[in-house]
Structure 1
Amino acid sequence: MRGIQFKEFGGPEVLEIVEMEKPSFNDDEVLIKVKAIGVNYADTARREGNYVVPTSLPFIPGAEIAGVVEEVGEHVQGVEKGMRVVTLIGSGGYAEYAAVNANKLIPIPINISFEKAVALPLQGLSAYHILKTMGRLEEGETVLVHAAAGGVGSIAVQLAKRFGAGKVIATASTEEKLSLAKKLGADHLVNYTEDGWEKKVVELTDGKGVDVALEMVGGDIFNKTVRCLAPFGRLIIYGVASGIQSEFYPRTLMKRNQSIIGFFLPKIMSKPRLYQESLQELLTYMNNEELELIIGGTYPLTDAALVHRKLQGRETKGKLILLP
């Protein structure tokens, strides 16, 4: 089978197309013929050696796959050959086949394509648990969503409204992306490339600030977002897309009882029931056409380096997908 791997850390050019054996699988696993692969900032962080946990070389990136069950381990129950499934895995997704623990599989409803299904798990679960589990969003609160036209952001705008947010403020870098956020349900739009954007956010809350903020850029954006928080506000960090770590003085949180919270999706994956129930809920929203997923583009697996460049260059909206 073909796959994409890197043997050293670096830019997109380190991604190589290689021939390899199909992965072996144990009695509790299944072999999946991969039909669609989600591309995420976590993949680029892995490639650069900047991921939250160490990356061993050589490495096959890809944590998000959808496909068809081709072979089933002897101890597996409730999963049959030919089932259409979607799942999250630790690595190895940039390939034509993957071995996966059967407990992690979620069936794909018949009217949802592999591309739509694979666009959901990582970003959908992240948006869901950032807002609900970590952000503890309450009815009527105000939510600030950065990169609102991106994978997590576009879903977070919709879920925030569904979960009872009174006001959703969306930021993006272009008018086109802001228009998309408006279409998805954002109440107010802010271009974060403009000077003083954080003051505009506070003005939109009548000076109070936002109750929940989603932040994945880092650098100066992080510090300005802290200044947007309301008393008892929660800022959830789920990435550092700029690659710039922020200098921060925790005592600034004390006078307004604010919180800064880290979110790492694999920790949710360690709680199978939490993972399965929330992903099933998201798939139901999609199946009922209550959740719109934005596909930014589909590309052959061999174009993985190009797709990484587009993602990191902020050239796209929504989800980027590789097709074996």
Structure 2
Amino acid sequence: MKAIVIKEFGGPEVIGVSEISVPQAAEGSVLVDVERSGLNFADLHQIAGTYLKKDSLPFTPGTEVFGKDPSGRRVLGIIPSGGHAQRAAVPVGSLIPVPDFVTGEEALALGVQGFTAWHLLRTCARTVRGQSIVVHAAAGGVGSLAVQLAKAWGASRVIASASTPDKRDLALSLGADSAVDSNAGDMTAALLEANRGRPVDVVLEMAGGRTLDQGLAALGTHGRMVVYGTASDEPSTPVRLESLIGASRSVVGFWAADLMRTNHRALTDALTGLFGMVKNKQLKPVIGGTHTLDDAAKAFGLLAERATTGKVVLDTTGN
């Protein structure tokens, strides 16, 4: 079968496609015929060897697959790695049946990224109706869903940040009340202005560095910042405890893989809820393009350059 194989750590240029043996499904797992696999920013860290859990070379990256299980059911599978291939072994407990009204691309959009957006807002930020919520990278896979979820769950004001006018327009079309330039020289001032001069209640933070520092300064009393990435690779200023205590602010970290590993219900509950919102037309996953497995290096290059929106997918069915 064909699969992406990483033989050395690096950028998208190290991505190659090889013929490898079909994986063996261990006890408690099944072999899924993969039709689509989903790209995530975490894949870039896996490929670079900078992920929280470093893989041993050679390996096949990819944490989410859509396809059919041995009984022919349409399923979404979440796995530690091995997803960017034509077949993948998936633990039975990590298989989610996909209803007919959800496409394969949409299922992948709702997988790791939908799960992340759901738990950033519900589990970590503990959002309630009437709060102002900042969503950085609002045109991306997580951000485009978080904007819609925050609005559907009663946020008083959803403030999106994105790097281009087209991305900001997309965020506004998804329900954001205001969109700011993520390259703004003073992000604190931009967020306060977007929130009509008031400090914000929640910031979903995935860039790190200057964005984290200035977002934290925009938080009001009892504000919560949820950190789930360091995409900018910029160092952040160490957080002074006085800045948290003085305004009763919180900074919470989130790693999707950790929650999936320790609480399986967290995955099934989130996906059930997300599928239901799609059916009720409360949520529309944004699909940012489908590429062939042979074009994976190009697809990952676009992701690394922040030149994509929504969910980027690989079609693994080609010969």
Normalised to the residue count of structure 2, the TM-score between the two structures is: 0.95
- The yes-or-no answer on 1:13 pairing with 2:13 is yes
Post-superposition Cα deviations, 1:55-92, rounded to whole Å, max 9, x if no partner, equal 2221211001100113xxxxxxxxxx100001211100
Shift of 1:206: 4.2
Shift of 1:287: 2.5
Equivalent position of 1:68 in the other structure: 68
* Number of matched pairs: 314
Equivalent position of 2:260 in the other structure: 269
Distance in 1 (CA, whole Å) between partners of 2:257 and 2:177 is: 31
Post-superposition Cα deviations, 1:187-212, rounded to whole Å, max 9, x if no partner, equal 11111213223202113334431111
Distance in 2 (CA, whole Å) between partners of 1:125 and 1:180 is: 21
**Corresponding residue to 2:110 among 120, 138, 142:** 120
Equivalent position of 1:215 in the other structure: 205
Post-superposition Cα deviations, 1:88-119, rounded to whole Å, max 9, x if no partner, equal 11100010000111121111111222112111
DSSP 3-state at the match of 2:158: strand
Distance in 1 (CA, whole Å) between partners of 2:304 and 2:212 is: 18
**Corresponding residue to 2:158 among 168, 181, 197:** 168
Contact kept, 8 Å, 1:109 with 1:287, in 2: the verdict is no
- Name the stretch that deviates more: 135-144 or 199-208: 199-208
Post-superposition Cα deviations, 1:245-291, rounded to whole Å, max 9, x if no partner, equal 31223322221111111100012212111211111111111123221
Equivalent position of 2:175 in the other structure: 185
Equivalent position of 1:130 in the other structure: 120
Distance in 2 (CA, whole Å) between partners of 1:278 and 1:145 is: 19
TM alignment of 1:24-173, pairs within 5 A: 24-70=24-70, 81-173=71-163
- The yes-or-no answer on 1:279 pairing with 2:276 is no
Contact kept, 8 Å, 1:269 with 1:275, in 2: the verdict is yes
Contact kept, 8 Å, 2:180 with 2:194, in 1: the verdict is no
Percent of counterpart pairs with the same letter? 41
Letter in 2 for 1:196: D
DSSP 3-state at the match of 1:256: coil
Which 5+ residue runs of structure 2 have no aligned equivalent?
none
DSSP 3-state at the match of 1:149: coil
Post-superposition Cα deviations, 1:271-321, rounded to whole Å, max 9, x if no partner, equal 111211111111111123221111111000111111111001011111110
Contact kept, 8 Å, 2:34 with 2:67, in 1: the verdict is yes
- The yes-or-no answer on 1:257 pairing with 2:245 is no
Distance in 2 (CA, whole Å) between partners of 1:103 and 1:254 is: 41
- The yes-or-no answer on 1:303 pairing with 2:271 is no
Letter in 1 for 2:248: N
DSSP 3-state at the match of 1:299: strand
Shift of 1:40: 0.6
TM alignment of 1:229-248, pairs within 5 A: 229-248=219-238
Letter in 2 for 1:83: R
Distance in 1 (CA, whole Å) between partners of 2:109 and 2:217 is: 32
Which 5+ residue runs of structure 1 have no aligned equivalent?
71-80
Contact kept, 8 Å, 2:179 with 2:194, in 1: the verdict is no
